[in-house]
Structure 1
Amino acid sequence: MRFLAPAHLVVLGLLSLGITAYAQSCSENVDCGRNHCCLRTVVLGVCIPLSAEGAFCACGCAPGLKCDEENICVTVGLPPRTDGADDPEQPDEDQGV
């Protein structure tokens, strides 16, 4: 098993070189294009596309979307109604309750 450790280091080194060969490296978002963000790891940062609707917020959402509480990109819209119109607990006025 002692001889496998250097081989693992070589494989990890080649993988990191392969990632940077196919993707643009970055240190912050301004290094990436308009529809990309800089996803930072321990060793390097890589520019990735902004997340689409319904996708996990890796480092940002596409224009018109925002990260919700569960880190999913959702459409920016109107706030939820608070007048009780959709609340089944509220009786209708015409029922006479």
Structure 2
Amino acid sequence: MHNAWRYLPTDLPLWQAVYWHIQQWERVGVAEALLTELRTKARRIIADTTGLLIAVAVVAAGRQDRDGAMTALLSAYLTTPSRHVSPTKPSRGS
């Protein structure tokens, strides 16, 4: 849908400028390099009971889950006033 570019949020530059930069990045392979880098990472998230994001930890995909979880929990502890954590199993997208 090419018209979607015209609906960018108003706090971004004009859609023509954003589109031009994206095209330049595609031409030199920036998008593919970013995707390749992201595929080597694992994300650990902490959300509240309503699903709102509290903390995110991006770690190497080879790290144990417990290590990634500790990174995310420490991040949440240091950045939020919440001090109670109840472990739950991850949602599988109802």
Q: What TM-score, normalized to structure 2?
A: 0.29
The structure number with the bigger radius of gyration is 1
Q: Relative contact order, CA 8 A, sep 6+: which one is greater?
A: 2
Q: What TM-score, normalized to structure 1?
A: 0.28
